[in-house]
């Protein structure tokens, strides 16, 4: 646990008692604060009270007397589509609102660091797609190189549940737009922006607000090094805003597909090869085609981001390359779960939107595609340019028939359930083909989350193994 600093003898309110909320309450108490809590769920409040927490109805004005700050969980709206009533009350009363990320950045450094030989560092990763894989890959590279490291934030452990830093440790944080949007302190040593595609637009009041939330990671704290994906206009804008000119190597531009030679420092992947350029000269190259844990151009962009971040820490190219080959990927993200009779089975249940599904579909040849679920606004017509490698689609869930009308001449069948889709794909797949679960839809019609959907697919595939 990381005790929160600067809160001794203060009354701090915590809104939301999920994983991060409970960890925040504990870290505040460890820092000497008097903590009061509130959650909209009656059962959650009752459990908190049974656990010894002080539950206070923050919907009432009288409960705010003496409260010096409100710490809210990331999933609770603080502006759009409208602020939660408790947060609106804090604004009305002038009580500062923060989240656990803000508390982490103001509390991570301690006087103990004066005794360290090497100052701990924080790498923070944000973006629309690929940030979980990039975060996990950076952590994996550091661990394989023998560097002390922890991983947390939007993946794994909540930030305040991490251990206090060790000498020379690198903490790797995945940060969502919900987390960066509100944090009052954002001071990573290295900040990474992977890419941007439309998501969470209702929560941020549109695409501009969504990008602004991501941009705060770079604008608020001024990282020593910024790794910026420049395959979209927003990334190019951000890189330009942060640099003093093309030779400024404090900004490392990364790309999957573009050749970036004119900058002070760049890393890009093209045709399966990763290249590092400095001051217009190539200084390293890695063949990514046989890195099984990072298939496809989207994962090559993740590799470029992780490479740039770890090179910023002084790791050698060959050291990073070795770690690439031992990376197994994350569950539900282009994860190869089996190869049976020459057929590869890939679980990309995390591909819940069109952009993520498009990246998955371009990563493989001769695809039998399992798609469907709770379709999102706009449907999947935008996937048309990416269906050339699809031998046949097996459509499941609530939107199966809608999807069938949107995939043009691609052969398909309505499978309804995952069981039927897997069984039919297994009966028809030929050696050299890939059966790909990339739903392009949410899971909530049949599963509580994308993880459960991916786990069910994996279980069914494993049952096919002789």
In the numeric block, which tokens belong to residue 2? Answer: 């990381």
> Could you tell me the CATH number of the domain that includes residue 406?
3.90.190.20
Residue 166, in any domain of the structure: yes
Q: Give the pLDDT of residue 200.
A: 80
Q: Torsions phi, psi of 71, nearest 5?
A: -110, 120
Check residue 330 and give its pLDDT: 85
Residues marked as binding? 127-133
- For residues 265 and 348, membership in a common domain is answered with no
Task: Say whether both 81 and 185 belong to one domain.
Answer: no
Same domain assignment for residues 236 and 113: yes
Structure tokens at 387: 């269906």
Q: Are residues 21 and 71 in the same domain?
A: yes
| DSSP-derived 3-state class of residue 141 | helix
pTM: 0.87
Do 341 and 297 belong together in one domain? no
Binding-site members for ATP are 127-133
342 is a domain residue = yes
Domain that holds residue 357: 335-462
Q: Which pLDDT belongs to residue 372?
A: 97
pLDDT value at residue 102: 97
Whether residues 269 and 340 fall in one domain: no
311 falls within a domain: yes
Terminal CA-CA length for the chain: 46
Helix boundaries (H) for 313-353: 317-326
Inside any domain, residue 244: yes
Residues 316-340 as b/e (b if ≥16 CB within 10 A, e otherwise) read ebeebbebbeebebbebbbbebeeb
- Residue 457 counted as domain residue: yes
CATH number at residue 194: 3.40.1190.10
Judgement on whether residues 382 and 456 belong to the same structural domain of the protein = yes
- The whole-angstrom separation of Cα 283 and Cα 241 is 26
Position 355 scores a pLDDT of 86
Total domains present in the chain: 3
Q: Is residue 1 part of a domain?
A: no
Look at the alpha carbons of 79, 83, 89, 92 in this order and tell me if their dihedral is positive or negative: positive
Per-residue pLDDT tens listing for the chain (466 residues): 999 999 999 999 999 999 899 999 999 999 999 999 999 999 999 999 999 999 999 999 999 999 999 999 998 999 999 999 999 999 999 999 999 999 999 999 999 999 999 999 999 999 988 899 999 999 999 999 999 999 999 988 999 999 999 999 999 999 999 999 999 999 999 999 999 987 788 899 999 999 999 999 999 888 999 999 999 999 999 999 999 999 999 999 999 999 999 999 999 999 999 999 999 999 999 999 989 889 888 899 999 999 999 999 999 999 999 999 999 888 898 889 999 999 999 999 999 989 889 989 998 999 999 999 999 888 999 999 999 999 999 999 999 999 999 999 999 999 999 999 999 999 999 999 999 999 999 999 999 999 999 999 999 999 998 7
3-state secondary structure 17-44: CCHHHHHHHHHHHHCCCEEEEECCCHHH
In a domain, 229, yes or no: yes
Residue 4 lies in a domain: no
**pLDDT given for residue 94 in this prediction:** 96
Rounded Cα gap, residues 172 and 149, in angstroms? 7
- Say if residue 311 is in the same domain as residue 378: no
**Domain holding 23: CATH number?**
3.40.50.720
């Amino acid at each position: 646990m990381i005790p929160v600093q600067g809160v001794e003898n203060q009354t701090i309110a915590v809104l939301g008692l999920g994983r991060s909320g409970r960890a925040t309450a504990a870290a505040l108490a460890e820092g000497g604060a008097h903590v009061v809590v509130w959650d909209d769920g009656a059962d959650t409040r009752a459990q908190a009270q049974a656990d010894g927490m002080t539950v206070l109805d923050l919907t009432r004005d009288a409960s705010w007397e003496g409260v010096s700050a409100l710490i809210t969980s990331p999933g609770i709206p603080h502006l759009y589509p409208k602020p939660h009533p408790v947060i609106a009350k804090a604004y009305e009363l002038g009580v500062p609102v923060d989240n656990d990320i803000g508390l982490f950045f103001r509390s991570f450094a301690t006087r103990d660091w004066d005794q360290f030989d090497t100052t701990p560092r924080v790498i923070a990763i944000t973006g629309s797609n690929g940030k979980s894989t990039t975060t996990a890959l950076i952590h994996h590279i550091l661990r394989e190189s023998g560097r002390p490291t922890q991983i947390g934030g939007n993946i794994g452990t909540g930030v305040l549940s991490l251990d206090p830093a060790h000498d020379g440790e690198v903490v790797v944080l995945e940060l969502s737009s919900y987390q960066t949007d509100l944090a009052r302190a954002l001071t990573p040593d290295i900040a990474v922006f992977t890419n941007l595609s439309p998501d969470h637009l209702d929560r941020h009041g549109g695409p501009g607000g969504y990008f602004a939330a991501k941009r705060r990671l770079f604008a608020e704290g001024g990282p020593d090094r910024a790794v910026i994906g420049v395959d979209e206009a927003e990334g190019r804008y951000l890189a330009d805003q942060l640099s003093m000119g093309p030779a400024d190597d404090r900004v490392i531009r990364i790309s999957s597909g573009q050749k970036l030679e004119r900058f002070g420092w760049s890393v890009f992947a093209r045709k399966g090869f990763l290249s590092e350029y400095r001051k217009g000269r190539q200084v390293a190259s890695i063949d990514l085609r046989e890195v099984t844990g990072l298939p496809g151009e989207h994962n090559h962009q993740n590799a470029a981001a992780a490479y740039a971040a770890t090179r910023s820490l002084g790791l050698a190219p060959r050291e990073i390359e070795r770690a690439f080959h031992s990376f197994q990927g994350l569950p539900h993200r282009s994860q190869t779960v089996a190869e049976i009779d020459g057929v590869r089975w890939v679980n990309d249940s995390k591909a819940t939107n069109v952009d993520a599904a498009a990246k998955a579909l371009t990563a493989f040849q001769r695809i039998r595609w399992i798609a469907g679920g709770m379709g999102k606004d706009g449907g999947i017509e935008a996937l048309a340019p990416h269906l050339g490698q699809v031998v046949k689609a097996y459509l499941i869930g609530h939107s199966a028939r809608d999807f069938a009308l949107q995939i043009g001449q691609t052969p398909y069948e309505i499978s309804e359930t995952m069981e039927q889709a897997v069984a039919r794909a297994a009966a028809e797949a030929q050696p050299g083909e890939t059966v790909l679960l990339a739903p392009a839809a949410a899971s909530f019609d049949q599963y509580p989350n994308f993880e459960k959907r991916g786990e069910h697919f994996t279980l069914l595939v494993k049952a096919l193994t002789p």
